[in-house]
């Protein structure tokens, strides 16, 4: 099923949050010019993937906040659209955008895109309904079950062989809230997602976190990246500039402060525990 939604809107960062990013951190990082011209670079991201990418959050989410900041450091004007994941992915390949984010690696994506250094590294878990009798201690134990992941979301390296072989059946609705609804209705056995996104989705839906449970092992630990199409001549230079700005941010623990400041602002009472998924 294809996603034919049009891009929704460009995000203008809220003054308070922009002041946080620029006022606290400005001056720590040298500027570098990526493009030969100062023309605005158009980027695209998806929706309903809070806290990383969601149009209801300040600046469109943590990933959008970070990418916008990185482009400020390379002195490159940028516009960021939000649309469906599959739509944005294809639109960038078609030349409508210079890049998209945040994406984890997959075989097909590596063929289509160049990947930046990791923007984020997160662990994903298999979530089941609280009433479920499913028990598992490894990805292989999930064989025979039904997974729900929206269109445009990658299975990840741990689940890919099980899905490709048919050992795991995959459902592909248009968004992650639909997957959690299918989980609660019994249409799906489990959802694979990282703990930040899981908690934010449940909070927005008014569903208590106790309504689901994570199986007691990380399905995978993956990195999320900014990606630029291999078929565009400017992509290697764009990736190199993003990597340099990211490396500058990661010096002296500034990256951790940047991320923590944003998460504290958007949901100070909802920070996931570091000891539980």
Q: Are residues 105 and 238 in the same domain?
A: yes
Lowest mean pLDDT among 91-95, 186-190, 217-221: 217-221
Task: Report the pLDDT value the prediction gives residue 25, as an integer from 0 to 100.
Answer: 35
Q: Are residues 20 and 157 in the same domain?
A: no
Taking residues 232-253, report their average pLDDT: 95
Confidence band of 194 (pLDDT split at 50, 70, 90): confident
3-state secondary structure of 105: coil
Alpha carbons 76 and 250: distance in angstroms, whole number: 20
How many CA atoms lie less than 13 Å away from 120 in the CB half-sphere? Answer: 23
Residue 274 lies in a domain: no
Q: Are residues 180 and 250 in the same domain?
A: no
Determine if the pTM surpasses 0.75.
no
Q: Over the stretch 142-177, which tens digit does the pLDDT of each residue have?
A: 999 999 998 888 888 889 999 999 999 999 998 888
Alpha carbons 91 and 89: distance in angstroms, whole number: 6
Q: Over the stretch 103-130, which tens digit does the pLDDT of each residue have?
A: 999 889 999 999 999 999 988 899 999 9
Task: Report the pLDDT value the prediction gives residue 169, as an integer from 0 to 100.
Answer: 97
Q: Are residues 107 and 44 in the same domain?
A: yes
Task: Report the pLDDT value the prediction gives residue 56, as an integer from 0 to 100.
Answer: 87
CATH number of the domain where residue 127 is located: 3.40.190.10
Task: Give the chain's mean pLDDT.
Answer: 83
Q: Are residues 165 and 37 in the same domain?
A: no
Q: Are residues 22 and 88 in the same domain?
A: yes
Q: How many CB atoms lie within 10 A of CB 207?
A: 15
Whether the CA torsion 114, 117, 122, 123 is positive or negative: it is: positive
Residue 71 lies in a domain: yes
Task: Report the pLDDT value the prediction gives residue 201, as an integer from 0 to 100.
Answer: 74
Residue 142 lies in a domain: yes
pLDDT at 273 over 90: no
Say if residues 147 and 156 touch (Cβ distance below 8 Å).
Answer: no
């Amino acid at each position: 099923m294809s996603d034919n939604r049009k891009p929704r809107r460009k995000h203008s960062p809220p003054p308070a949050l922009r002041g946080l990013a620029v006022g606290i951190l400005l001056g720590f990082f040298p500027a570098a010019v990526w493009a030969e011209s100062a023309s605005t670079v158009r980027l695209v991201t998806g929706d309903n993937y809070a806290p990383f990418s969601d149009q209801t959050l300040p600046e469109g989410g943590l990933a959008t906040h970070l990418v916008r900041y990185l482009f400020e450091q390379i002195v490159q004007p940028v516009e960021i659209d939000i649309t469906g994941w599959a739509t944005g992915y294809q639109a960038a390949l078609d030349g409508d955008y210079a890049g998209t984010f945040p994406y984890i690696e997959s075989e097909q994506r590596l063929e289509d895109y160049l990947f930046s250094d990791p923007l984020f590294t997160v662990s994903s878990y298999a979530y089941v309904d609280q009433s479920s009798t499913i028990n598992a201690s490894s990805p292989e134990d999930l064989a025979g079950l039904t997974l729900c992941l929206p269109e445009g979301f990658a299975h990840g390296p741990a689940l890919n062989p099980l899905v490709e072989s048919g050992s795991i059946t995959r459902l592909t609705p248009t968004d992650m809230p639909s997957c959690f609804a299918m989980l609660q209705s019994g249409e799906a056995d489990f959802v694979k997602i990282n703990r930040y996104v899981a908690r934010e989705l449940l909070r927005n839906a008014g569903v208590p976190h106790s309504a689901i449970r994570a199986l007691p092992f990380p399905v995978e630990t993956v990195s999320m990246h900014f990606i630029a199409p291999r078929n565009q001549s400017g992509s290697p230079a764009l990736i190199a500039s993003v990597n340099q700005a990211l490396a500058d941010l990661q010096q002296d623990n500034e990256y951790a402060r940047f991320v923590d400041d944003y998460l504290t602002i958007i949901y100070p009472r909802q920070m996931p525990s570091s000891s539980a998924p």
